[in-house]
Amino acid sequence: MSSIILHHFEASPFSEKVRALLGYKALAWQSVLIPRIMPKPDLVALTGGYRKTPVMQIGRDIYCDTRLIARTIETLEPTPPAIPSADTASVVALEQFGDRQLFLAAVPAMFRPAGRAFLVEKLGEDGLAKFQADRADLFANGNVARPDAAFSEAVLPPSLAALDAQLAARDFLLGEQPTLADFAVYHPVWYIRGNAGIADLLDAYPNLLAWADRIRAIGHGQRKDLDAAQAHSIAVETTEWQPLPESVAHKLAPGTTVTVAATDYGTEAVTGQLVAIGRDVMTIEREGPQNTPVRVHFPRARFCVEAAGD
Ligand SMILES: N[C@@H](CCC(=O)N[C@@H](CS)C(=O)NCC(=O)O)C(=O)O
């Protein structure tokens, strides 16, 4: 059994990116369901303030952001490869296309009248109002504005058409095997497809739909449910740390009390002692559940680190 614990909620697209990757790797993993809106006290007890979904836990190490989560999974379980070295830059580019362009174009589509009606059926008017207020807060402070209908209408059809064309002659975006590029582009498509009010937006793209079926068929690996208290106990009882990446030169010395925050949206800062800064990852240590230390890892890109109090 792998020691991966994913803190997620079922309807979360970015969680689906990771669940599909876990399926591709045929991994066994443990699932902790978290609320879809704030407050998320059990999650924040681990992360120190980071609130986005999903978060991965391995023992007392906590990984934020699916870019880092995916690369950590790739290191733990290199076969089959999700980031083949000959395709590394293509994966990064398509990951950005999926996580940013396509995801941000998919979100406003949910609020077209038929999409909204579906959400009301799921969440109720009151639940939907709370969800929208929460997401307005999520986008209140970062450098990415909350996407609007005009952005979605302009960006979604050409993006879907481009994908459909690329998938005409191959099974997956970069060839005959899936890569992380597929999972990163899949999750917004899965999000649209899961909303019965707007799923027909995909009808004009048969190659895309056939590809989405192929990814769905990969599954999610073997999932076992845990509750948050069990995940906290695992953090408290684990004595070893996960490996750290090689450090690179940086003006902040290890041991400095720092804050780390996303720069795009969901910018809640996490405070802790700097452990290491590598080329791609930065790691801080802080007090987690029951005052035991946990390490929280963030990508460097689209996160900022600064000395606390600066
Ligand atoms: N860059 C982040 C984006 C994650 C993201 O936007 N997740 C959405 C849910 S799919 C979110 O956090 N929504 C607010 C929340 O869950 O509190 C990543 O790759 O993990």
CATH of residue 42's domain is 3.40.30.110
Instruction: Judge if 92 and 212 occupy the same domain.
Output: yes
Residues 120 and 106 in one domain: yes
Residue whose C-alpha is closest to residue 260's, from 231, 283, 289:
283
Q: Where are the beta strands (DSSP E) in 218-302?
A: 222-225, 257-262, 270-277, 281-287, 293-299
pTM: 0.98
Report whether residue 53 contacts ligand 1, using a CB cutoff of 6 Å: yes
Cα–Cα distance for residue pair 78/261, rounded to 1 Å: 29
Cβ–ligand 1 contact at 299 (below 6 Å): no
Which among 218, 238, 257 is the end of a domain? 218
The three-class DSSP label of residue 275 is: strand
| Predicted confidence (pLDDT) per residue in 93-102, tens digit | 999 999 999 9
Please state the domain count of the chain.
Answer: 2
- Determine the atom of ligand 1 nearest the C-alpha atom of 103: 6
| Residue range of the domain that includes 73 | 4-79+223-307
pLDDT digits (tens, 9 = 90+) for 237-263: 999 999 998 999 999 999 999 999 999
> In 3-state terms, the chain is what percent helix, strand and coil (to 5)?
45, 20, 35
Cα separation, 62 vs 72, in Å, equals 11
- Ligand 1 proximity of 138 Cβ (cutoff 6 Å): yes
19 lines ligand 1 (CB under 6 A): no
The CATH number of residue 107's host domain is: 1.20.1050.10
Tell me which of 165, 186, 218 is where a domain ends.
218
Q: Hey, which of 6, 38, 53, 139 would you mutate to test ligand 1's pocket, going by the most ligand atoms within 8 Å of its Cβ?
A: 53
Domain check: are 162 and 251 in the same one? no
Taking CA atoms, 244 is separated from 28, 240, 275, in Å, by 23, 12, 9
* 62 shares its domain with 91: no
Q: Could you tell me the distance, in angstroms and rounded to a whole number, from the CA of residue 182 to the centre of ligand 1?
A: 18
Tell me the per-residue pLDDT of 287-308, one tens digit each, with 9 for 90 and over: 999 999 999 999 999 999 999 9
Q: Give the residue from 218, 243, 261 where a domain finishes.
A: 218
114 shares its domain with 214:
yes
User: Residue 38 CA: which ligand 1 atom is closest?
Assistant: 17
| 212 shares its domain with 99 | yes
Tens of pLDDT, residue by residue over 122-151, are 999 999 999 999 999 999 999 999 999 999
Ligand 1 centroid vs 53 CA: distance in angstroms? 4
Instruction: Tell me the three state secondary structure of residue 235.
Output: helix
Q: Is the pLDDT of residue 222 over 60?
A: yes
Run of H or E residues at 255: none
Would the pLDDT of 310 be above 90?
A: no
Q: Which residues, including other chains, have CB under 8 Å from residue 268's CB and lie 6 or more apart?
A: 49, 50, 51, 261, 262
